[in-house]
Amino acid sequence: MQTIILAPFFIVACSSDSKEDTIPEEPQMTLADYQGVWEDIHNDTAFISISANGEVLYYKQNGVMGRGIGILADNTISITNEYTGSRDE
């Protein structure tokens, strides 16, 4: 009697649509990445405080106080000031 051996073979291939030479983009920063209290090194009365939920409190050297939810776009924080109703950047 002859013995027949069957051996299954599997071929697995992987591919990707992206080029290896593409430069990865910098990750988009959020206000939570800047959480903390920041002071002006030239004027210790000017500060900005940013919380993880996006609430921003600030005092500028010209006497402007502000509070509101901040929006970060193009490296600029925009806040609708709850005290004055104006938009500050």
- Model confidence over 16-29: pLDDT tens digits? 565 566 666 767 67
pTM for this prediction: 0.61
3-state secondary structure of 18: coil
* Statement: residue 8 has pLDDT above 70: no
pLDDT in tens, 38-57: 888 887 778 888 898 889 99
Does residue 30 surpass a pLDDT of 90?
no
Name, in order, each residue with C-beta under 8 angstroms of 4's C-beta and a sequence gap of 6 or more: none
Q: Which pLDDT belongs to residue 4?
A: 58
Q: 28, 74, 37, 33: which is closest to 58 by C-alpha?
A: 37
